[in-house]
Amino acid sequence: MKKVITAKSVIDKLPENHSPFPNSYLKLHRKLPESSFTIILAAANAAVEGGTKQSVIEEVEYLLDIKNGQYIIDLDNPITNFKSLEEKEEYEYDFKRELKVKQDLKLNGYNYPKDTSDAFDLLTELGLIFEEKRDGKTYVDVLISPYPSVSDLFKRSR
């Protein structure tokens, strides 16, 4: 069995002001909600800094609010009013992508997240983020290696 490497386990090997990020994540990204990238990056930063699950969720929600982005699309209530054709086309592209992600998740026994907390929990369920409860708080860590392949996590696909 391969040794598990997490963000916390490589802290001493990183240049100052750097956070680890799993290179293999990009292969898996197309199967995960768009919000996953931001959450994993924030969780890697939190792991290095000793941050908690709550701090990750708050940071991600703050970042998404700054960008005025809707990274967790409400697939049950699509947006129909747009300021421009470009905005509409971008939303429709994202909506179709997220709908496919939702279908693949469902086929494999996972739920599409309704909010940032659900998205974080999905990544924990997939084994990409770890939680450690101590002192009444939930601290986080991120898997760096061995990273699961798409076929490890998604046996079925549309």
Instruction: Name residue, tokens 């470009």.
Output: 86
> Residue 63: how many CB atoms within 10 A of its CB?
15
Tell me the pTM.
0.83
Report the alpha-carbon distance of residue 70 to residue 94 in Å, rounded.
10
pLDDT value at 157 more than 70 = no
Residue-wise burial string across 131-157, b where 16 or more C-beta atoms lie within 10 A, e elsewhere: eeeeeeeebbbbbbeebbebeebbeee
- State percent of the chain over pLDDT 90: 37
Instruction: Name residue, tokens 């986080």.
Output: 140
- State percent of the chain over pLDDT 70: 86
User: 3-class SS at 134?
Assistant: strand
Q: Which residue ranges make up each domain of the chain?
A: 5-13+20-145
Q: How confident is the model at residue 22 (pLDDT cuts 50, 70, 90)?
A: confident
pLDDT, one tens digit per residue, over 53-99 is 999 988 888 877 655 455 678 888 888 999 999 999 999 999 999 99
Q: Tell me which of 65 and 139 has the higher pLDDT.
A: 139
Contact 123, 112 (CB under 8 A): no
Tell me whether residue 86 is exposed, middle or buried, using C-beta atoms within 10 angstroms of its C-beta: 0 to 12, 13 to 18, 19 or more.
exposed
For all residues of the chain together, what is the average pLDDT? 84
